[in-house]
Chain A
Amino acid sequence: MLYNEPSPLETRVLSRRFGMAHSESIETYLATEGYQAFLKASKMTPDEIISEMKASNLRGRGGAGFPAGMKWSFVPRTSPKPKYIVVNADEGEPGTCKDRVLMENDPHQLIEGVLIAGLAVDAHAGWIYIRGEYRYLIDIMDRAIAEAHERGWLGKNIQGTGFDFDLYTHTGAGSYECGEESALLESLEGKRGVPRIRPPFPAVAGAFQCPTVLNNVETFCAAPAILLNGGAAFAALGIPKAGGTKLTCLTGHINKPGVYELRLGFPVKQMIEEVGGGMRNGKKLKAFIPGGSSCPVLTAAECEGATMDYDSMAQRKSMLGSGGVVIMDEDTCMVKACLRLMKFYAHESCGWCIPCREGTAWLTKIMTRFHSGGGSPQDIGLLGDIAKNMLGRTFCPLGDAAALPMISIVEKFRGEFEDHLNGKPCPYEHSNRMVTA
């Protein structure tokens, strides 16, 4: 099912089957070059596969943007241990809903991507770790896996290539932190979802302490196109150092919210105005989160000249993240938006380490008091201070993910905090709000 009309400005590579009749079925998939990339890869050496991946400049789509080909090359293929593939389909980042449409509309593309990774690192088994709330997607993936088995695209000696591969779905246990790769692996192993100390990284000691390729759904979904048309072709769709397209989730105060596949380097302005059909009700843009709630917020002014890619966002001290764009208009109460974010992080902090566990809870308490009119001028400084004391000192990036938006909102929208002082009612309370804290 599709949730929005496609836009003519899209470059549809991963989403090219979206909207076709029965796009999720193996028949549709096979009729549209499905599994051909796997067959091609099965005749290549692992090094050749990995060098195509490297040439594609594909960077991980889960948020951190680590080059995928490089990650695959870290797996010690000669290790006597079994190697595994793990798909991160935990999709918990607020604002992000792309893995869902990829699995819902084209599950076989993901399976084929996993098979290619299996060939590249000599793995013969894998799991798709799907967030528990995506119950229906687990059914879709299970059905696709069963179809693939029936047609001989999974299991023993796939299509006579001599390559064996088994793939399983695994239900997430309802925690954002379980999307963090090492916490995901713990959870996959049946343990409490708290992150692991690294090194060793999953490529060396991942699932059950065996070498593991762990990538985001979208990252794997790009592999068939890369193998089929060559890494260079994929790279050319994007900009130098960041190849290909990115599924971008436009959310918030915009006329046409939805998931759109855009070339990397797509201008932010054009994305809002043309792809997203402009701001809702003709309002002005106030704040922009480029890639999921963990990225620092940009002001409208900072969006000038910005493009949707890693470098442009890094220059603006934010991140491309997972592609979950959140657009907030002039009527948004940034204090309330910030409170909503802090509530999320306090609720999702796994509690493993002190600064994140206590910091997110503390920030939430201050923000709650502050937003309801109980704030004092010192609180504003304290909020920024607490967040800075968390930053860079937590065990995993979740602590930073909470601290960064807090810091950026206090810095960039300090005036709005001051407006809430002295028991003044929230000046935006009357307005059409996207946030319900």
Chain B
Amino acid sequence: MADTVKLTIDGHEVHAPAGMLVIDAAKLAGIEIPAFCYYEGLTLQAACRMCLVEVEKMPKLMTACTLPVAEGLVVRTETPQVAAARKYMLEFLLTNHPLDCPVCDKGGECELQDMAFRYGAGESRYNETKVHTPEKQYSPVVFFDAPRCILCYRCVRICNEGMGVNALGVVERGAVSEIAPNHGDHLECDECGACIDICPVGALTSGIYRYQTRPWEMTHVGTICTHCSDGCKTTLGTRNDRILRGNNRDRSGINGEFLCIKGRYGFDFYDHPDRLQAPLMRVNGKLEEVSWAQALAAVAEKFKQTIGAGTFGIVGSNHTTNEENYYLQKFARSVLGTNNIDHHRTGDVVTLVDALSGKSGALATVADLCERKAFLVLGADLALEHPLLSYQIRANYRHHQAHVYVVTPKAVREDKYAAATMRGRDYESLRDKLKAQPELVILFDDSYQGGELRKLVDFGESLGIPVRYVCLVDYANSRGAIDMGLTPELLPGYQPSGQSGLHLDEMLAAELSVLWVVGANPLENAARKSGFLVVQDLFLTETALQADIVLPAACAYEKNGTVTSGTGEVQRLKRAIETMGAKPDLEIIGFIAREMGAAAALGPWTPDAVFEEIRKNVRGYDVAMPALSTGGAAQTMPVNGRVAVPGPAGLVRSDRNGLFASGTLGRYSKVLNSVLESRLSR
């Protein structure tokens, strides 16, 4: 443990670890020292001068944000001199500030307002003209209103240090200094909006949220991003059943305050005009709107007729909840009597679980990314495909100098700070360097599957150091789909299903009596072969267009349940808004079961009840409820024991969405399609 030093802050004796800054040590004693530019995790600036405190034996006021604690230090944070410094610092800040709080997006949650309220003077002594510059748009996402900027440089730092993008800088100097894109007059960056959220004032505003509402008029709902498998928590601000913004300013999730463009703004597909509002049924060759009752009755009828008389195929989803997936496979296996169930696999988790059988703790968690000392990144362009994981490894490097090794087909952002980087697949040449590390986390994409993946695990296990693995998968519940047994060969919890059914490609090729697609678009580039096609989806996708019956489904932000991130954290989705017409897939499946008279055998179809069953029946999911139910993440631990039936080769295909695409959903997101970079990256 680090040495502890004893100091006095406002008369309280504080014991703080050596090296800690006075501003943080004060927090230990419950004393808040005001700050704008100091921001945990980012480099020190000492620019805003809000944190000035009196220190005994020092002639001048000192910035608590740069002063390390020292034995016997005597600090005072509330003397008249300190109070005056704060008051006048705010006076300086407000000289050129437009004070347009009534129309400012930040009004109500603005740090400058809060500070002025607590420490500021009641009146202004400033009688001169203010510097005014017109508002600028830097991208469809990022707007900048220079007069509101207090130059705390948080945006510059989060972009450069946090995101590794370095898109923002400062131009000019003195009172006309301005935050500006480093790329001329516009941004070319990740468009993540981290700069906007970190801005203490309303200088950076978002093209999606600006001028929509006042913050206090919204309801804030913490849920999980429905795009990639990284599992970021996003807090949706809603009003009148409309989602107005996403952020995670309370840092409550596994992602802290991190979100990429999809988590922060990519919710907008939910009210796309093409969203399905009512069930559709094919009448005389054309899809026509029908009532839920009609549609459900027709599906139930068809299913009942087919049981025992024909063949079923079920395609599940990478986006639906664990409860929905579990319920769907249970329905398939126990009511429809088939193992013909699969989904679009985007990473070879099954082979990894098999190759690691007998070992515990070999699957890396998201915490490992922040803490472990060495990483080997294989294949993936993490910054584009797994933005959170990339962010965490970068933070680990910045704070703990993690050693990162990169073996990828093309240049990646990690190259910049990697201990070694190479193009191709020759990770074995890193053997000596890796052996010298105390521990290692290996992250690999779908280009490592089957035999290649077994070779990789053999390599990892031969290094003689603790090695953990992350099998990168694409979507919000890709991992949960496998864990919940949406595969013909495995039941929930990686238990062999006995007699394997048809896998995805076989089902699409076979002339099945009924194909039931729940939240997927497997026929995007293919014609249907099945006799009857039922599709549950948000949109009339290429697959839905070929259906006999289409049931409009709720999206992740419109329902409750749980999803499991690629690194195995199970987290809760919380309904943020009500839907018109569409229903959660779990409900739809339940209603079909009820219509068929099979509901009793399946049990209730509420998310809580199904999750209880998952906790009991699915290996690894017996997680503690308190964290989960309060919006935290619970770690699942599936690995232990051999998976007897490895999946067939070639089934695993990542969509390689990058930052500005997200499978079918991404096509319906205005923001993802509007940013310059999404065109550049195509």
Contact = CB atoms under 8 A, between A and B. Distances in A.
Contacts, number: 90
A347 B128 contact: no
B47 A353 contact: yes
A366 interface: yes
A358 B44 contact: no
A358 B177 contact: no
Contacts of A350: 173-174, 177
Nearest to B128: A365
A205 B84 CA distance: 34
A197 B46 contact: yes
Interface in A342-361: 346-355, 357-361
Interface residues on A, range: 20 to 34
A345 B177 CA distance: 14
B52 interface: yes
B151 A355 contact: no
Q: Is chain B's binding surface mostly helix, strand, loop or mixed?
A: loop
A353 B174 contact: no
A26 B432 CA distance: 55
Interface stretch (B91-99, B329-337, B460-468): B91-99
A394 B85 CA distance: 11
A192 interface: yes
A197 B172 contact: no
Contact of A354 (B48, B84, B128): B48
Interface residues of B, number: 34
B173 A349 contact: yes
Contacts of A437: none
Contacts of A347: 174
A358 B95 contact: yes
A361 B95 contact: yes
A404 to B, nearest CB: 14
A175 interface: yes
A257 B48 CA distance: 42
B175 interface: yes
Interface in A324-358: 346-355, 357-358
A317 to B, nearest CB: 15
Nearest to A394: B49
Contacts of A177: 173
B125 A361 contact: no
A116 B85 CA distance: 45
Contacts of B170: 192, 351
B441 to A, nearest CB: 29
Contact of B175 (A197, A349, A394): A349
B92 A362 contact: yes
A351 B49 contact: no
B20 interface: no
With most chain B CB atoms within 10 A of its CB, the pick from A175, A192, A358, A359 is A358
Contacts of A361: 95-96, 131, 174-175
Contacts of B88: 355, 389
Interface of B: 44-49, 52, 60-61, 66, 84-85, 88-89, 91-93, 95-96, 125-126, 128-129, 131, 150-151, 169-170, 172-177
17 contacts: A192-B170, A348-B173, A349-B173, A350-B177, A351-B176, A351-B177, A352-B45, A354-B49, A354-B151, A360-B175, A361-B131, A365-B129, A369-B128, A382-B125, A389-B91, A395-B46, A395-B47
Interface of A: 175, 177, 192, 197, 346-355, 357-362, 365-366, 369, 382, 389, 392-395
Given A349-B174, A354-B151, A365-B128, 11 more contacts: A175-B173, A177-B173, A192-B170, A358-B95, A361-B96, A361-B174, A361-B175, A365-B129, A389-B91, A393-B61, A393-B85
